[in-house]
Structure 1
Amino acid sequence: MADPDPRWNHNIHYHPIVLAAVPPGSRTALDVGCGEGQLAMRLRSVVPSVVGIDRDGPTLERARAENGGPGIEYVQANVLTHPFEPASFDVVASVAVLHHMDTAAGLERMRDLLRPGGVLAVIGLPRPQRPRDLPYDVAGTVALRWNRWRNGGYRDVTAPTVWPPPDTLAQVRDTARRLLPGVRVRRHMMWRYSLLWTKPA
């Protein structure tokens, strides 16, 4: 199985957070809003069966061509309505996707698809709050330029985008804490946050 495209972007940068959160012994993973499949491919290296779901057909065709293989299935559908069986996955992950849907509805759906003991790992984009977030924006710009130079380029995102995100980090945190007791939400550089939660066994 080929390695994912090594070129860098904001989203690929945070894949290691998702991979580090995969619980030992996981058998199944769902990549919500999988895009071109870079994360699905990386999840496949640690989980035997991975499903990537995305609504955009052309993007999924690239995923199948560039990041397909045994143990990976790509589904063109809306995760909120696709008839997955409840509690089907040991890992549910999403990167730069939650702001494409209602935050509460998205978190509830991903929560319900997890098996007991499974992990939800979300990398999201908060809506900036200026001027309070200005120092983070400046630091993010510096980090972006450094990482582009260090990694030898930038892989453009070809999937549909939504900007600005609807929720601030504080709003995401409040919603997540209400729906996912014990959730860990952390701000990161380059306009991202992580949300990690283990479903009670």
Structure 2
Amino acid sequence: MTDARWNHNVEHYEVLLRALPPHCSRVLDVGCGDGLLTRAVAERGIPVVALDVDAGSVATTRAEVADLDDVEVVQGDVMDPDLDLGIFDAVLSVATLHHLPLEDGLRRMSELVAPGGVLGVVGIARSRSLWDLSHDAVGAVLARVRRRRRGWWEVTAPTRRPTTSYTRVLRVATLLLPGVRYRRHLLFRYSLVWTRPG
């Protein structure tokens, strides 16, 4: 990404962009927020459906991607069983899973992935262990350095503090998504990348 806007979420977009399958022809951005990830995917020439429950986020995303083709912005709740989204070669989500029930949210997003497709999540969890807290301390120092060098892009979407621990996220993801790749990142995030068999 060449966009100069930066925050803890933007820092991890490359994790998801690198996870896109080579045959990717349709992507769902769950909890599109300010539309920056939607833009990053669409600029690669991949059609995107950007989904958010928040009307303000939908309006912000529409403005962000107004100059791009093949982007559909939808206001809706990914957990709504009546919301017919179809299936996607990649389902991506940044800082959204902690707004949903963990098991149901992962299950629902995985159901939207086509065979051979990818579910990519960058999430936030609660630090509970000594390892988590030491990881956070290093992340806090790194964040200060990055903020000085790159500035800060304030998130406009509604935010919520996570209540689920990193350990629980890993445990649930491993149970629901066999073969999932979990990684704990600096700057207060984790990632899950899972490929649906087929």
SS in structure 2 at match of 1:13 = helix
Q: Do the aligned partners of 1:36 and 1:67 also contact (CA within 8 Å) in 2?
A: no
TM-score under structure 1 normalisation? 0.93
Gaps of at least 5 residues in structure 2 are none
The one of 40, 55, 60 aligned to 1:57:
55
Q: Percent identity?
A: 43
Give the letter for the 2:193 counterpart: L
Q: CA deviation at 1:48?
A: 2.6
Q: Tell me, what secondary structure is at the counterpart of 2:190?
A: strand
Q: Does 1:187 align with 2:163?
A: no
Q: Deviations over 1:161-190 (max 9, x none)?
A: 111x12111100111111100001110001
> What does residue 134 of structure 1 align with?
133
Name the aligned partner's letter for residue 186 of structure 2: M
Tell me, what secondary structure is at the counterpart of 1:186?
A: strand
2:88 alignment partner in structure 1: 89
Give 1:93-108 correspondences, 5 Å limit. Answer: 93-108=92-107
- 1:133-177 Cα deviation digits (max 9, x unpaired): 2211210111101111221x10011111111x1211110011111
Q: Is the 8 A contact 1:56 1:76 kept in 2?
A: yes
**Which has the larger displacement, 99-108 or 37-46?**
37-46
In structure 2, give the amino acid aligned to 1:115: A
Normalised by the length of structure 2, the TM-score is 0.94
Is the contact made by 1:89 and 1:118 (CA closer than 8 Å) also made in structure 2? yes
Structure 1 gaps, min length 5: none
Q: Are 2:39 and 2:64, in contact at CA under 8 Å, matched by a contact in 1? A: no
CA contact (8 A) 2:21 2:118 kept: yes
Paired residue for 2:28?
Answer: 30
Deviation at 1:60, TM superposition (A): 1.4
> Is residue 89–residue 118 contact of structure 2 (8 Å, CA) maintained in 1?
yes
Q: What letter is aligned with 2:165? A: T
Aligned to 2:4: 6
Residue 147 of structure 2: aligned partner: 148
Shift of 1:35: 0.5
CA shift, 1:47, in A, is 4.8
CA distance in 1, matches of 2:189, 2:131: 16
Aligned length: 196
For the residue of structure 2 that corresponds to 1:10, the secondary structure is coil
SS of 1:14's partner is helix
- Structure 1 equivalent of residue 109 of structure 2: 110
Distance 1:5 1:171 in 2: 33
RMSD in angstroms over aligned alpha carbons? 1.5
